[in-house]
Each structure stands twice: as C-alpha cells, then as structure tokens.
Amino acid sequence: MRNRLKRDNSDFNNAQYTSIRLDDIRTDGRVSVANIRVVARRDPGARRLRALVDSIWDGIVADAGKYGTGFDGPAFSRDVREMLSGTGYIYTTRNFDVFRLADVIEIRDARLDDVSGRDCVRFVVVADAHDGPFASAEILQWLGDEGGSCPRNCNFDLRRQEIASVADELEAYAHDVEATVLRKLDAIVEQLKTPSTRKAPAREHAFG
C-alpha cells in the first residue's frame, strides 16, 4: 500500500505532500479513463456512459482547481475516444456526448445482385450525424462463395471512402463504423435470402 503523509493545515505548503498528491491525481485520472472501456463493454447504455465521462471530467477539473494543476481538455477527449473504440460506442467532441454506433447507423436500400457472376449486396449507409442525416453513396459488398451472410474472412470490398465519410460525420473511427456496418449487414443479408423478402429492398428500422 502506498505510503501517504498525514494531511494537516500545512499540507499545501509541504512540497513532499504536494508531489505525492499530484502523483495520485494523475494516476487516479488515468485509471478512471481506462475504466471507461471496462464499463462500456458491459453495454450500460449511452446515457450512463455519458454520465460516467462527465463525472470523471468534473473530478479532474475539481482537482485542478484545488491543487493548482493544469488539465488538457482535448487530450481527455482523445483518451475517451480511444477507450471507447472497439466497444460499439463513440464520444463526440462537438457536444461531448456518447452514442451507441448501432443506434445512429442505418442500412437502407439493400438488395442482392451479382457482378460478373459473383454474388454481392448493394446498400447505402445512413448516419444520424450531428448536422442531420448523412447518406453514403451506394456500396457494393461481395458475398461468400455460398452466398451467405458476409463471412469475416471474406475479401471485403466496402468502399472505404464512403465508410470514412460516414465516420467523419459521426466523429468516429472508420474501423468502428465498418464493424458496425458489417454486423448490421449480416442480418440484412440473411433477411434478403428468404423468399418473402427477395422482391423488395431490405431496410432497417429507423434510428433509436
């Protein structure tokens, strides 16, 4: 257990105490930010994650005011974004909010097709972005040899620039957006394979 000096009224004038306390503050901050990933993987919902992020930030600001330390808002935002990467959530710096990617990404106008005898699915990605709905251009995705839902070892032909555009609108990492799109596409391809849905393009439920 770390040794701590007993605090008294002279603590703030005690260089040794101040040094130890600042070390504690930095360590606590790093641990708290890292814990965001742990909590996010439990999928508690965007509101609870936003409350956790706000609470950690408020603590950092309070400590900065109390002990005269500095704080770096942009660095904090970058750290939070990195901690949420791969969890299915994103953190935006425009309004410092947390969203579940699956709630703000929708696949529309999906239909099975073939190009030069090779099975594929065509679709559009729509994102409920900060400035309003944003739609990609049509994307073509090759299917597996058996025409099933997109296998993870398939040579994906997602148009990377379209995924990148959606990611930019959402302030998300492109690989996180791509992972969300592929998960949603799996379910839609399965739906399109059933005879009752082959006649009309498949469309997901609205955002929410």
Q: Would you give per-residue pLDDT tens digits along the chain (208 residues)?
A: 333 334 444 444 444 444 444 555 566 677 888 899 999 999 999 999 999 999 999 988 888 888 777 778 898 999 999 999 999 999 998 889 999 999 999 999 999 998 888 888 999 999 998 888 999 999 988 887 655 555 554 545 567 889 999 999 999 999 999 999 999 998 999 899 887 655 555 555 444 4
Residue 11's pLDDT is what?
A: 46
pLDDT on residue 198: 53
C-alpha to C-alpha distance for 180 and 177, rounded to whole angstroms: 5
pLDDT value, residue 93: 87
Q: Can you give the pLDDT at residue 15?
A: 46
Contacts of 120 (CB under 8 A, 6+ apart): 112, 113, 114, 140, 141, 142, 143, 157
pLDDT recorded at residue 130 = 83
Give the per-residue pLDDT at 206: 46
Question: For residue 173, what pLDDT is reported?
Answer: 95
Instruction: Tell me the whole-structure pTM to 2 decimals.
Output: 0.76
CA distance 21 to 83: 25
- At 113 the pLDDT is 92
Q: Which two tokens stand for residue 197?
A: 């849905």
Q: Contact 107/188 with Cβ under 8 angstroms?
A: yes
The predicted structure's pLDDT at residue 103: 96
Report whether 46 contacts 134 (CB < 8 A): no
* Beta-ladder partners of 141: 121
| Separation of CA 87 from chain center | 6
What number of other Cβ atoms are within 10 A of residue 172's Cβ? Answer: 26
